[in-house]
Each structure stands twice: as C-alpha cells, then as structure tokens.
Amino acid sequence: MTGPHPMVEIHRGGFVESRHSGHAVVCDSGGTIVEAWGDPDAVILPRSAAKMLQALPLVASGAARAAGLGPRQLALACASHQGAPLHVAEVGTWLERLGLRAEDLRCGPEPSRDKTLRFEMIRTGQRPGRIHNNCSGKHTGFLTLARHLGTGPDYVAPEHPVQRACRAHFEDMTGAPSPGFGIDGCSAPNFATTVAGLARAMARMAGAAGRAGAAEQASAALVEAMIAHPDLVAGEGRACTLLMRAASEPVAIKTGAEGVFVAILPQRGLGLALKIADGATRASECAVAALLVRLGVLEAGHPDVARFLNPPIRNWDGQVTGEIRTADRFG
Amino acid sequence: MTGPHPMVEIHRGGFVESRHSGHAVVCDSGGTIVEAWGDPDAVILPRSAAKMLQALPLVASGAARAAGLGPRQLALACASHQGAPLHVAEVGTWLERLGLRAEDLRCGPEPSRDKTLRFEMIRTGQRPGRIHNNCSGKHTGFLTLARHLGTGPDYVAPEHPVQRACRAHFEDMTGAPSPGFGIDGCSAPNFATTVAGLARAMARMAGAAGRAGAAEQASAALVEAMIAHPDLVAGEGRACTLLMRAASEPVAIKTGAEGVFVAILPQRGLGLALKIADGATRASECAVAALLVRLGVLEAGHPDVARFLNPPIRNWDGQVTGEIRTADRFG
C-alpha cells in the first residue's frame, strides 16, 4: 500500500509551515486509470462529492421527469450550495411544488454560508433552517424520489428504498460493492469506495452523453445541468462555481467534506477524484485546481484559478504573510 | 530525517476518514529530550505557542514592574484570548493606564470569537476592533515594553528594539539561533525553531521557579500568571483554559495556529511541544490532551479532557456521526 502523495504546502516567511498529502486518480470512461498519485485503492467516504451519484435514481427512475424538474433542480440536487437567497428561493419553490415544507427535509438546520444573509438573519433574530443546509437540494431530490416511489418520509434511513436505490447506483457506477457507509453531515448515508472507484464513476458520467441506458442518460442530464448552472452548484466566491466558470471547456467540479474533490470532463471522457488524507479543504481546492491545470482545462494565470491554486495568506490587517502552493512534483 | 508520526484519526461509520501526523517532544529542564515522536529537528513556526517567550522581555526588562502589571496582565500577554467581554475590558483598562488606545495596537481587527459578543456586535452594527484580536494582550505587552524602552510606535518591525529583545530571549530559551521568522496573523515576527527547541524553552520555563537570573524570574512569573488565570489565557470553552483547569497539578498549556501546542509542567520540570504537520487544530488539541494524559497530568475520563481527546463529531441535526481519537501507538 502506497502512502499519500505530497500535494500542497503552506509557506510563511520562507518556511514550509504545514504540508498536505493525498490520493488522486484520473480515469478514462472505459474505467482505466490514466494517472494516479498516492494510493488509488485507499478507501474513502466521498461525502458531498457523491451527490451526482445520489441524484442518479431521481432521474433514472423517471421521478424527475414526472415531477417536471428542469436543469436548475437537477443542479441543486447535486449541489453543496451556500444557502444564499438564490438557493433558498429555488429549493423553496421546488418544495412548494411538491406540496412539502422545509420541515420535511431530514438535513439539519445550518447557518447560511452567504455572509450577507447570515448577518441579516442574526440582525433580525431568525434561526437557521433546514432549507439553508448546503444539502437541501439533494434532500428535496430525495423527497421527490420518495414521493414517486410512494414510500415513507424517513428517506435517510439506510434501508429506505431511496437509499437502497442510491447504493445500487453508487455500486454500479463505481464498479464495486461498497464496503459500507458513514452518516453524513446531512444525516444521509454516505457510501464508501476507493479513490479509483470514485474516479471511475466520474469518468463514466463523463462518457455518458449519447449512450444508451437509464444510468447513462441520467448521468448526462445531471452533468449538463451542473455545467449549465455553476451558481447553483455552490455559490458566489466558492471553488466549484468559480473553477467551473473559469474552465476552457465544459467541466463539472464538485467538492466534498474532509478534503474530497471530483471533476467530470465530458469532452475527454475523463473523471478525476482526489482525497486529502488529513481532510483539509484549503488543500483539496489547491490540488483539484492543480490537476485541472495539468489536464489543460484550467489556466494557472486565471485569477479565479490562482485564488485556489496559489492563494496568498493574509492576516487580520490584510498583510500577505504567506501562500498556499503545490508541493514539488505535484500538478 | 524522520517523517511525522501518526497521532490523530477521524472515524466515521467504521472507517478512518482522515488522519493527522505530527512531531512532538518532551524535554526536561536540563534540556534533555525525554521522549519524542516524529522528527524533533523539524523546523516550525511556533505561532501563538511562543507568546510566553515573547512576553519574557516585558518582565525581564523591568517594564512590567515599572508599569505596575500584575498576574492578570501577564496572563493576557501570553494569551490567545477569544475577545470575550472579560478580555476586551481587561486589555482596555491596561491600555488606558498606558494612556493609549486600541488604535495604537498593530494587530489587525478580528471578530470576537465569543459568540454572544460577536452576534451582539452584528446586531448593533459594530465592526470588530483591534482590541478584539486574540493577540491584543501580547500587543499591549509590546506597547508597555516599547514605552519602557523609549522606542517608537512601530513595535512589530523586526528591527524594532522590542522584537530584537524578543528574538534574543527566544534564542536564549530555545538554546539555538533562530533560522528566521514569518509574519504572524497579528503582524508581529514569529521566530522559527525546532520542535525540540520549543520543548527545551518550555522545559526551561518549567524549571525556572526559584532559580537566579532575569530570564528565570520572568519565566516563573509568566508561568505562575497563566496557571492562576486560565480564563484569561483563552476563554470559556477553549482547550487551553479547560485543560489547564482539568489538570491534577499546576500546568500551563498554550495553543498556536497551524497545529502547534505547548505545555509547561513546573512540578516535574518538563516542557512539551508538538506540531501537527498539516496544521489542524482539531488534531493538535487531541494530541496535547493525549500526551498530558500519558504524563499523568490529565485524566482521560474527565469531561473537559474527553471533549478534546476523544470528541464525538455531530452533524447539523445533532446526530453523532463519528469521533476524533488518537492513532494506535500514540498517547
């Protein structure tokens, strides 16, 4: 077993202050590993980087079509949105159309990550709601599927038909049985796979357009929706949104908690997955930018790439005191 | 050169989701390494774990006595306080006694980490000030020394007499020339040393009481002040404060940014320093608790120890989804 590969360094005053290592795999749509760093067989919880896979049964089952969902709802089903007014309004409308309320969501209440709204809610004494949770789009997708299947309200229970469908699609796309699951920040099961398995699933999504089969057609629809609506996938200022917008070709990019990132490159039929071993987001953002620069999808000099690839570290007085950059021989 | 030693794991659903490694050294007051993990010679920036060393010239020069400072001010000079009303009021009074204002501080404005005050300031439209910066006590100490020395207001410039005095004390205590410095979050220089050098300095502080010499007497006064006022060193709910209170014997415990922790054990004449290689605070808190349990200063079963040594990870709905714990063969 290979250890994690050095990927990202924190520099301050000429010293490497901290270091992040990880595992990364680029896979083609035939399932072959094109390039890898660290251990491709490292077992990980993909966290929110699995949202596109968790949204597959919503589309493949016909539930999305039956509910009249468009690309905006599909993008939100794959999103870790920041609970900005845009996201809250869109999810709210979707819930209304289902005749449901925010209280029907099983994701817990999370303060909005949109600073203006968060401060406004503090000023006016409003408590964070379930609809502000970054996963509220995924959960509204789960509710849509649960209704379509005619099943009960506890859609996050691992044995609920919604989660059984998620697991079946997850294992189909990663190409291997999942060794188990953890409970995610939003209370839904999060199925484990290897870094290679996650890259394989992303590559299959990348090569799905125009292919036959329910999973392929659902994959293509979700990838298209994400690429069409980067603002719904995360939000202003966030890595997924800015990197998708900065890309020189259509690409879907998605973060997951604890240092996970994935990318889907439809024009090349490639999928990418990475996990920072220590779980740091500052490192996963830098590493995914580096790998997408390496693949020729992002330009290192683009300001919205540089802010993740090589950001300055500023102190409380705004002074630049250091920088984040890739380790030698990575990216 | 030895790599970092596995220290802390993040568990979720039966999987090790993330892993943290680091370097740690326990040193006796003669400067001998008693026990070490990882690389004792790893060069680090101690960040706020150096504050006791940065406060030495304030006391050793006679500036503290001339300004009539007591243990409360000395504890604040060593503190990374959370900008709670208690800390803001104490630093404010100290500044007033010097005839100075918060604007004379060179640390940047930082939002209070005390949630009640932070929300209150948002509600009433107050902007965070320099006095709320977690380093405002250290900086008021710098100002006190600058005035005593009759030197200019730019006390964070590396060539200012205040910082030259800090460097001289730092090198004396660590027992080696510093290879350089980085600029800290509060704009002051932060001198580099090895993990062993930092542990050596802490051990010398631990053995200082009753010994002759200005540095020894200053060390003893600062350690005594910290131990007498754990609430001023950090604040309610914070690791330094709670672990110092939970200890079965007097001990000074201090965190630094990017995964640094130190401890001073006067009854045993021991000093401890650790650095998590990736800079994670969740890991440095767990690791310092583990090492102090190992040394017999903390009890693993004490609730205020367990909350750092082996905390549950809860999701947005309050559900326990995992835990932080020490790696096998550590602690």
Q: What is the mean pLDDT of chain A?
A: 97
The ipTM value here is 0.97
Q: Sort residue B257 into left (φ over 0), alpha (ψ -120 to 50) or beta.
A: beta
Cα distances (angstroms) measured from residue A77 to each of A136, A148, A169, A188, B97 = 8, 16, 15, 14, 58
Can you say how many angstroms the Cα of residue A330 is from the centroid of all Cα atoms in its chain?
22
Closest CA of chain B from A18, distance in Å: 5
Can you say how many angstroms the Cα of residue B39 is from the centroid of all Cα atoms in its chain?
21
Closest CA of chain A from B166, distance in Å: 17
Tokens for B326, please give them.
């020490």
Distance (Å, rounded) from C-alpha B304 to C-alpha B230? 14
Name chain A contacts of B43, Cβ cutoff 8 Å: 15
Name chain B contacts of A198, Cβ cutoff 8 Å: none
Residues 6+ apart with CB under 8 A from A116: none
Q: Is the pLDDT confidence value at A219 over 80? A: yes
Q: What is the mean pLDDT of chain B?
A: 97
Closest CA of chain B from A214, distance in Å: 30
Cα distances (angstroms) measured from residue B155 to each of A68, B150, B185 = 65, 11, 15
Option in A13, A180, A190 nearest B45 (CB): A13
Check residue A312 and give its pLDDT: 98
pLDDT band at B329 (very low <50, low <70, confident <90, very high): confident
Is residue A209 within 8 Å of A250, Cβ to Cβ? no
B321–A185 CB contact, under 8 Å:
yes
Per-residue model confidence as pLDDT tens digits over A105-130: 999 999 999 999 999 999 999 999 99
Provide the percentage of residues in chain B whose pLDDT is more than 90. 98
Name chain A contacts of B192, Cβ cutoff 8 Å: 13, 15
Per-residue model confidence as pLDDT tens digits over A166-215: 999 999 999 999 999 999 999 999 999 999 999 999 999 999 999 999 99
Per-residue model confidence as pLDDT tens digits over B212-260: 999 999 999 999 999 999 999 999 999 999 999 999 999 999 999 999 9
What is the chain B residue with the closest CA to A11?
B182
B258–A15 CB contact, under 8 Å:
no
Give the ranges where chain B is alpha helix by DSSP (H): 51-60, 63-66, 71-77, 85-97, 115-123, 136-149, 161-174, 195-206, 214-228, 230-233, 239-246, 281-294, 303-309
Per-residue model confidence as pLDDT tens digits over A2-30: 899 999 999 999 999 999 999 999 999 99
Can you say how many angstroms the Cα of residue B185 is from the centroid of all Cα atoms in its chain?
13
A186–B45 CB contact, under 8 Å:
no
Q: Sort residue B161 into left (φ over 0), alpha (ψ -120 to 50) or beta.
A: alpha
Is residue B208 within 8 Å of B220, Cβ to Cβ? yes
pLDDT band at A241 (very low <50, low <70, confident <90, very high): very high
Check residue A331 and give its pLDDT: 81
Please give the average per-residue pLDDT across A36-47, as a whole number: 98
CATH number of B5-326: 3.40.710
Q: Is the pLDDT confidence value at B67 over 70? A: yes
Closest CA of chain A from B31, distance in Å: 25
Name chain A contacts of B186, Cβ cutoff 8 Å: 315-316
Other C-beta atoms lying within 10 Å of the C-beta of residue A104: 16
What is the chain B residue with the closest CA to A116?
B122
- Interface contacts (A, B; CB < 8 Å): 138
What is the chain A residue with the closest CA to B180?
A13
Name chain A contacts of B187, Cβ cutoff 8 Å: 315-317, 319
Residues 6+ apart with CB under 8 A from A251: A227, A244, A263, A264, A265, A266, A292, A297
What is the chain B residue with the closest CA to A119?
B122
A238 three-class SS: coil
Per-residue model confidence as pLDDT tens digits over B171-203: 999 999 999 999 999 999 999 999 999 999 999
A319–B181 CB contact, under 8 Å:
no
Check residue A1 and give its pLDDT: 62
Option in B14, B20, B180 nearest A15 (CB): B180
- Domain map (residue ranges) of chain B: 5-326
Q: Is the pLDDT confidence value at B40 over 90? A: yes
Check residue B1 and give its pLDDT: 62
Tokens for A306, please give them.
């540089």
Check residue B2 and give its pLDDT: 84
